[in-house]
Structure 1
Amino acid sequence: MRFGRTLIAAALLQLVGVAGASAADLRLEQYFAGHTVATGHFGAINGVSRDFKVKLTGTSSGKHFSLREDFRYADGETDRKTWRFTRTGPNTYRGTREDVVGDTEVKITGQTARFTYLVNLEPKGKPNIVRFHDSMVVQPDGSMINNAWVTKYGFPVARTHVVFTRP
């Protein structure tokens, strides 16, 4: 279950795109300011399938933005992860989290954030590194949908779907 839990946690917040920023471009620190909630599903080729809910708390100071994720899985298990982002340009961020290997670069294009990053699924054991490929898109109703593929050695091994809403 740790494998599935860690994959879900890692899938929630990564981003990418191109072009200069405009007034309509997504800004993570604005969208996730204060409290946000999410529901999601994770499914892997090994049969792991988990539904979850997340309460998110975003705070910012200047170019820095933190996003705490409090997960509750359908089986009652809980987990907490915290993203730390730095705005590096009009449409880019650099971010990391406890289980992320190195940093990720988030790129924003309009209302879409895309990013890819490495996650160590077993930080206290033998390393088990996978790559997440996230695409987060703000919808006309204000919700945000994150669809992510998870790959190992370039092969898809899991997928996650998360819907973020403002309470």
Structure 2
Amino acid sequence: MKTKFAITILFCSLLFGCGAQLEDYDDSERRFDLFEYFSGSVIAWGMVQDFSGKQTRRFEVVIVGKVVENRLTLEEDFVFDDGETQRRVWQIDKLSEKKYQGTAGDVVGIALGEERGNAMQWQYDLILPYGDSSTVVSMDDWLYRQDDNHLFNITKISKFGVEVGQVTIFFQKSPTPTKIQITHKQDKISK
């Protein structure tokens, strides 16, 4: 009887329990500071996983950011393990001390972001290539500032409210812009 009760409580807490909230990071010593971190050059490595957790793609990205007044322009150049390349250019406007909005060519409408402590959450809809067509998915993007040079990102991808995948990215500040090319046959990375 006790086991059934414990399982029921565990199930209910998983089903109805609240996930992390942005306010949970208010007391962090480190501050996220989106414009400061992405001003200049950043390199990153990441992977895409499907709904089962299986890794489906790997990629590297070079990001160059430029801040002019209350706008951050981010130029992101992706190289995937299959040789595909993608470019995304973000225009991000600072609305207040902690709130932002942004646009990019493959973002539907406006992305909304807020930072608290060492964390930032972005939410937006993204057009993804899907076979010979494309589909729109919702992105719930959580970024965490580790230190002056490192940042972690976990993004949940959903369609019709159901999680269909996840993207994990590790960022590192770079003193100069770098070109990255993934050579998947030898499983080496050359810069």
Unpaired segments ≥5 residues, structure 2 = 1-20, 175-191
Unpaired segments ≥5 residues, structure 1 = 1-15
Question: Which amino acid in structure 2 is aligned with residue 31 of structure 1?
Answer: Y
1:121-163 CA-partner distances (Å, limit 9, x unpaired) = 259x866211000100011473100001000000000101000
Point out which structure has higher relative CO (alpha carbons under 8 A, 6+ apart).
Answer: 1
Contact 1:17 1:106 in 2 (8 A): no
Does the alignment pair 1:56 with 2:66?
A: no
Q: How does 1:1-167 map to 2 (within 5 A)?
A: 17=22, 24-45=30-51, 49-122=56-129, 128-140=135-147, 142-167=149-174
Cα distance, 1:28 vs structure 2? 1.3
Question: Which amino acid in structure 1 is aligned with residue 167 of structure 2?
Answer: T
- Greater mean deviation of Cα atoms: 137-146 or 82-91: 137-146
Work out which of the two has the higher radius of gyration on C-alpha atoms and give 1 or 2. 2
1-structure distance, mates of 2:171, 2:81: 17
More helix by share: 2
* Structure 2 length-normalised TM: 0.71
2-structure distance, mates of 1:135, 1:144: 10
- Greater mean deviation of Cα atoms: 151-160 or 68-77: 68-77
Contact 2:108 2:124 in 1 (8 A): yes
1-structure distance, mates of 2:64, 2:89: 9
- Greater mean deviation of Cα atoms: 147-156 or 68-77: 68-77
Q: CA RMSD in A?
A: 2.6
- State, as a whole percentage, how many aligned pairs show the same letter: 27
SS at match of 1:89: coil
2-structure distance, mates of 1:92, 1:23: 19
2-structure distance, mates of 1:23, 1:104: 26
1-structure distance, mates of 2:128, 2:59: 18
Map of 2:189 onto structure 1: none
1:54-111 CA-partner distances (Å, limit 9, x unpaired) = 0000001100111110001112211111111000000011101111110011100011
